Amino acid sequence: MSSKKISQKKLEKEELFDLIVQNFPVGLVILDANEIILEFNPAAERITGFKKEEVIGKNYREVMPGLPCQLKNVRKQIVEQKDKIFVHLEGTITHKDGHEIPVRYTAAPLVKGSELKGAIAIFRDVTKEKQLEQHRRVLISMFAHDLKGPLAIASGLLLRLRQGKAGNLNEKQIQYLDTIIREIGKVDKYIRSFLDIVRMEAGQISLSKELCDMHSLISELLTDIELKAKQKNITIKMEIPEDLPLVYVDKEQLQRVFFNLLDNAIKYSPDNSLIVISCKDIGESILCIVEDSGPGIAEEDLPYIFDPFYRANYSESVEGTGIGLAIVKTIIEAHGGRVWVKNKMPPEHGAIFSFTIPKAGSEKITTKPSSAKRNR
C-alpha cells in the first residue's frame, strides 16, 4: 500500500471517530490514564452545561464528581487480571448552573495489552424516567397502602371468629380459619415488605448511620439466626479479621441485610452443611460475603434474583415471598455499596452472595461512635 493511501485511510479513521463522537446521542467522555478529560462530545455539553473547551485538560472529578470511573480500582483489577471491569450504574452530576441531574452511565477502561490507557464513559440524562418512576411508585405505594386497611379489618374479624366469639366452631371450620389467617398474614407481610422497598427506593427511609464494628453487628444477629440453623444442624462460621476497620452504617438495616442473606442460606441449604460469613478490607470498602453449600442459583435465574417477588422454580417447596433479596439490594445501594451473587465453582456447590459497604472515613461522620466498642 502506498504511503498516500495509508494516510488517506488514517484520515478516514480520524474523520469517522470524530463523526461518531460528535453525533453520539448520549454524553461521551474519554479520559487519559490520569483521569484527565481528552474528549467531551456535544451531548455531554448539553447534559452538563459545560463547553468542551472548559473541561478538556481538567480532571473529570472536578467536572463530574458524581460519575465515578475509579481508575484506581481499574488499575488494581488489571493487575489482578479480573476481566469484568465495566460498570453500569446510576449517579448524579451537577449541571454548570448548580442543579443536580440524575444519570445512568456505563464506564469502561481503555486497555492495551496490560497497560491502562484511560477510560471511556457514556451517560444519559434520566430526569424524565426518574419523574415517571416516582409517579408510578407513588401510585403503587398508595394502592398497597390502601390494601392494608381492609386486610387489618378482615384479620381482626377472622381472629374473633377463630376465638369462638361468634359461636362455637367445629374442627373443619377451625382448620379452614387457621389456613385463611396464615395466608392473610403472608399477604400482610408481602404488602409491608413491598412498601419498605418502594420507600427505600424513593429515598424515603433515612438511614441513621453510626460507627459499627462488623464483628459485634453480626454476632448480635447470630443469636436468633443460629436457632434456625440448629434445626437443620447447619454450622455458621465467621471469618472476620480482628483489625477490620469500622463501618459507618445504619446498624439495624445492615443487620437486616445479613439476616435476609443468612435466612436464605439456611432455607436453601441441605441439613448438616456449612455457611461462612466473611468480611475483608478491600481498600475503599469492606467486602462482606455469605456463602453456603446449597444448590446455588441457576444461570437463568441469576439476572432476576434481586428483583422484587422473583423466586426460582426450585424454591416452590420453601416458604418465602421473593422480597428478601430486593430489600438487601435496596439497603446496600442506599449505603452506596454494591451487591452481587455467583455460584461456587464445581465440584463444589453453593451460592456466594457478596456486597460492599464504604469504609468509615470515606465520608463525613457527624454521629458519635456509640457502638464502636471492640468487645470481641
- Residues in the site for Mg ion, rule: CB under 5 A? 264, 324
Q: Is the sign of the CA dihedral 112, 283, 215, 355 positive or negative?
A: negative
Shorter beta-carbon distance to ligand ATP: residue 106 or 315:
315
Smallest distance from ligand ATP to CB 303, Å = 12
Residue 354 interacts with ligand ATP (CB under 6 A)? no
Residue 240 interface partner, choices Mg ion, ligand ATP, none, CB cut-off 5-8 Å depending on type: none
Q: Report whether 185 contacts 162 (CB < 8 A).
A: no
**Which residue of 197, 323, 339, 360 would you call a contact of ligand ATP, by CB under 6 A?**
323
Residue 265 interacts with ligand ATP (CB under 6 A)? yes
Residue 297 interface partner, choices Mg ion, ligand ATP, none, CB cut-off 5-8 Å depending on type: ligand ATP
Q: How far apart are alpha carbons 145 and 374 in whole angstroms?
A: 41
**Which residue of 40, 50, 105, 268 would you call a contact of ligand ATP, by CB under 6 A?**
268
167: left (phi over 0), alpha (psi -120 to 50) or beta: left
- Give the footprint of ligand ATP on residues 282-311 (CB under 6 A): 292, 294-295, 297, 305, 310-311
Residue 221 interface partner, choices Mg ion, ligand ATP, none, CB cut-off 5-8 Å depending on type: none
Shorter beta-carbon distance to ligand ATP: residue 24 or 259:
259
Residue 292 interface partner, choices Mg ion, ligand ATP, none, CB cut-off 5-8 Å depending on type: ligand ATP
Residue 324 interacts with ligand ATP (CB under 6 A)? yes
Residue 266 interacts with ligand ATP (CB under 6 A)? no
Residue 351 interacts with ligand ATP (CB under 6 A)? yes
Residue 305 interface partner, choices ligand ATP, Mg ion, none, CB cut-off 5-8 Å depending on type: ligand ATP
**Furthest CA-CA distance within the chain:** 102
Helices 251-268, 214-231: crossing angle, 10 deg rounding: 30
Shorter beta-carbon distance to Mg ion: residue 286 or 326:
326
Q: Read off the C-alpha cell for 38.
A: 481528552
* Residue at 304: amino acid letter: Y
Shorter beta-carbon distance to Mg ion: residue 324 or 350:
324
CA torsion angle for 142, 145, 150, 153 (degrees, to 10)? -150
Give, as one character, the DSSP assignment of residue 245.
Answer: P
Q: How far apart are alpha carbons 115 and 102 in whole angstroms?
A: 32
Residue 320 interacts with ligand ATP (CB under 6 A)? yes
Q: Would you call 210 helix, strand, or coil by DSSP?
A: strand
Shorter beta-carbon distance to ligand ATP: residue 169 or 302:
302
Residue 236 interacts with ligand ATP (CB under 6 A)? no
Q: Read off the C-alpha cell for 3.
A: 504511503
Q: How far apart are alpha carbons 295 and 170 in whole angstroms?
A: 43
Shorter beta-carbon distance to ligand ATP: residue 93 or 326:
326
Smallest distance from ligand ATP to CB 37, Å = 41
Q: How far apart are alpha carbons 236 and 222 in whole angstroms?
A: 9
Smallest distance from Mg ion to CB 352, Å = 16
Q: How far apart are alpha carbons 118 and 196 in whole angstroms?
A: 40
Which residues does 304 contact at the CB level (< 8 Å), separation at least 6? 310
Q: What is the b/e burial string over 189-215, where b = at least 16 CB atoms within 10 angstroms of the residue's CB?
A: ebbebbbbbbebbeeebebebbbbbbb
Q: Read off the C-alpha cell for 376.
A: 470481641
Shorter beta-carbon distance to ligand ATP: residue 210 or 291:
291
Residue 323 interface partner, choices Mg ion, ligand ATP, none, CB cut-off 5-8 Å depending on type: ligand ATP
Residue 321 interacts with ligand ATP (CB under 6 A)? yes
- Given the rule CB under 6 A, which of 65-73, 101-109, 168-176, 321-329 is the region that contacts ligand ATP? 321-329
